[in-house]
Amino acid sequence: MLTWFRTGRAAAASVLACAVLLVVQQAWYFGEWGGAAVSTFVTDASYVPQALVFTVLAARVAVSRRQEPRTRRAWQVITVAFACQLVAHCSWFVQSQILHSTGYPSTADYWFLLFSPFMFAGLLMLPGQYRRRRDRQKLALDALIVGAGGFIAIWYLLLGPILNAPGMTSWERSFTAALPIGDLLLVLAMSTALLRRHQPEAPAPIRLLAGAIALTVTADVSYSWIQLHGGFTGGSWPDLLWLAGCFLLVVAADQQYRRPRHPAPRRQDRNAVAIFPYVASVAAYLLLAERSSHLPLNPYGGMILGSAVLTLLVMARQLHALRDNREMAVTDGLTGLANRTLVGERLEQLAAQPIRPGRHAAVMLIDLDRFKPVNDTFGHEAGDAVLIAAADALRGVIRAGDLAGRLGGDEFTVLLQDLPSREAAGAVATRLLEALRTPVIFGEHVLMVEASIGVVVRDDPAASGETLLQQADTALYAAKRAGRGRFEYYSTVMDTKAREAELRHAVAHDELVVHFQPIVALATGELRAVEALVRWNHPVRGLLGPGEFIDLAEETGAVVPLGAWVLRAACREVSGWPAGSLRLSVNLSPKQVAQADLVETVETILAETGFPADRLTLEITESVILQPDPLIIGRLEALRDLGIQLAVDDFGTGYSALSYLRRLPVTTLKIDRSFVTGIADDAEARSVCEAVVHLGDAFRMTVVAEGIETADQAAALIDMGCTVGQGFLFHRPLPPGDAEALVRGLEHV
């Protein structure tokens, strides 16, 4: 039977059948069809299939590997409790309809009594959120408050009358008292399970169990009351509550089986279960007021009224304290904005909302530019003043329904909803940029801080809150790379993981091509070498220069296989050209230099392509020579021992240490194009160029000038003593065929 119930259709059909059975019984009861005997038979018979279904469905949960181990163990005990109910209902049917026995307590009553301790244990075993000792104490107090309120009601309705009821044996009195005590245990366990929730709202199966227990306890109390005042007979109105509770047990077991092992978090801020202790307290005082209404106002009435008012005032004070604690827990202490916790909750709420036509939601991630120098120069008090001013700027721009928060450090976020268009998010970002440019007065200093903003407009209903924040971070990084002090919209083109996968795919499927820029003698234009420059022949975006993807390759590590591909492709291409003395220059990234197998990789490529090592120049950046470790020095010396020459690319843009430059096996310095561009009218750029040329002479190195675009620049470089250069004045980067044609043409001149 359990195997049959594991199929989704069978379980759903069983739940539907139980619902139909419940409706039929309720209609039969209220319709009073067939007389009291028939109504009692229908009622008693309705319990057995319901109990059988919820027991089997609970057993299905107890053995399911879809559930967490702790959940399975809890439901194993709950299944035992359900089985006790099944035996009890079967026994009652036999007793009342077949044997016509009315003895009390009956066999069914004993099994009904066993239901309470097993259900109590199973509910307490349900997994809950990890809590600190203080939180566990608070949970225990809340549950005891609910239990105390229930105890007052049960004492008034049952326990007090049971202890004073005449004509009962000691065993009957003890057994009758045990039933409401068991119900009180169920109330304690259920309130604990509800309060000890995983999420802001208890899961559906627990809420259904709570409803079933509430109906069962109410029916049990009614049953015991009727027993005290004349005896219970089947088909009475408490059966309506018991049967409804049985159906809720059926649905709870089915919902627990269908519940994912790791469900998505609920997105409610408040939980109605948290008011249980207060509801129980109010109910207890109302009952006390009703029972003491006949007492004289002096002194009992005033004392009871004062106690009730005092308790209510304490409860109101605690509610205010809870609200204050909530605000403290979700508020950034320095700026007063929402903190990361509240931002995360609101992000998940935003992600759960349906996307409506003409209504847009956006997430902005804001990072202050040049904030660290403010902290380092003027101290943390100045930094705090800037953060507070930034928070005030955010409040002044966003609308009342939007949320501004601080994630930490100098990183802020803004959540916008109900925007009329995508462009509206950009308009808000523009106003934020302007507001954040406002100078901050700190003592005698005027602090200037700008910001960069990443904007993502939600258009994917499946994107989670965390995904939206990651996308905003990607857009923020793009804004910083584009020059800071600006905002950028997120697009899938920016997605690092997707672009990295696309780039690696390009390397593996020959979407990259190598162009070659000639390096010439400045005085004669004679071809001395060619530099290999990679291009991406993108299937959608066309031919892309290295500025479109090299930074991404460096960031993700894809530059290592990309660099090896470029070296192999360039060596293979140039080895077939006729000019036997033409040198080939290829760039090495810092990540390639850091690879332990660099030398072996270069040797393998040279062996595969047949390109001679003494015609190869490998270009490294200044960051490599700034503080090289012994392993890097060893690799560079090993490359030199193969006959390969080494050049420092973009020399002058970093902070090169001359002592290391002397120690490293470098033969060539390349002047960065930024200095060459201003050589004619910028005295500082001209001085740097002259210094590099003289440095090359002192170290007996070749100096190559990059980015030469005018004859005046070439003449100025020649005057300084620079003899070799490259740039648009001589040749643009050429495709392999054009570069080979150029070499062959020069060979025949």
Residue 693, CA distances (Å) to 677, 689, 740 in order: 16, 6, 31
pLDDT of residue 27: 77
167-177: average pLDDT: 78
Q: How far apart are CA 237 and CA 449, in angstroms?
A: 74
3-17: average pLDDT: 71
| Residue 187 pLDDT grade (very low, low, confident, very high; cuts 50, 70, 90) | confident
361-383, pLDDT tens digit by residue? Answer: 999 999 998 788 887 788 888 88
Greatest mean pLDDT among 22-31, 517-526, 655-664: 517-526
316-325: average pLDDT: 63
Q: Where are the alpha helices (DSSP H) in 231-356?
A: 238-258, 276-291, 302-329, 340-352
4 has a pLDDT exceeding 60: no
Task: Name the 3-class secondary structure at 366.
Answer: strand
Instruction: Look up tokens 């060539």; give the residue.
Output: 668
Q: How far apart are CA 714 and CA 336, in angstroms?
A: 60
pLDDT of residue 585: 95
Query: Worst-scoring range by mean pLDDT, 323-337, 440-454, 672-686, 704-718?
Result: 323-337
What does R_g of the chain's alpha carbons equal in angstroms?
Answer: 40
Q: How far apart are CA 403 and CA 390, in angstroms?
A: 14
pLDDT of residue 267: 43
What residues contact residue 466 under an 8 Å CB cut-off, 6+ apart?
Answer: 344, 347
621 has a pLDDT exceeding 90: no
Q: Encoding tokens for residue 129?
A: 């959120």
171 has a pLDDT exceeding 90: no
194 CB-side CA count, 13 A: 23
624-651: average pLDDT: 83
* H or E element in which residue 532 lies: strand 527-538
612 has a pLDDT exceeding 90: yes
pLDDT of residue 453: 93
What residues contact residue 92 under an 8 Å CB cut-off, 6+ apart?
Answer: 44, 47, 106, 108, 234
pLDDT of residue 450: 86
pLDDT of residue 112: 86
396-408: average pLDDT: 89
| Residue 199 pLDDT grade (very low, low, confident, very high; cuts 50, 70, 90) | very low
pLDDT of residue 234: 58
657 has a pLDDT exceeding 60: no
Q: State the pTM of this model.
A: 0.44
Q: How far apart are CA 612 and CA 361, in angstroms?
A: 60
First to last CA, the chain: 94
Burial class (CB in 10 A: 0-12, 13-18, 19+), 37: exposed
90-114: average pLDDT: 81
Residue 117, CA distances (Å) to 111, 242, 243, 335, 666 in order: 11, 18, 20, 52, 83
pLDDT of residue 627: 59
CATH of domain 516-532+559-747: 3.20.20.450
Asked if 648 and 620 count as a contact pair (C-beta separation under 8 A), the reply is yes
482 has a pLDDT exceeding 90: no
Nearest to 242 by CA among 270, 258, 259, 222: 222
Q: Where are the domains of the chain?
A: 2-262, 340-491, 516-532+559-747
Q: How far apart are CA 361 and CA 359, in angstroms?
A: 7
Q: Which residue has the higher pLDDT, 564 or 461?
A: 564
351-357: average pLDDT: 85
Q: Which residue has the higher pLDDT, 591 or 623?
A: 591
Q: How far apart are CA 559 and CA 589, in angstroms?
A: 7
Overall fold of domain 340-491: Alpha-Beta Plaits (3.30.70)
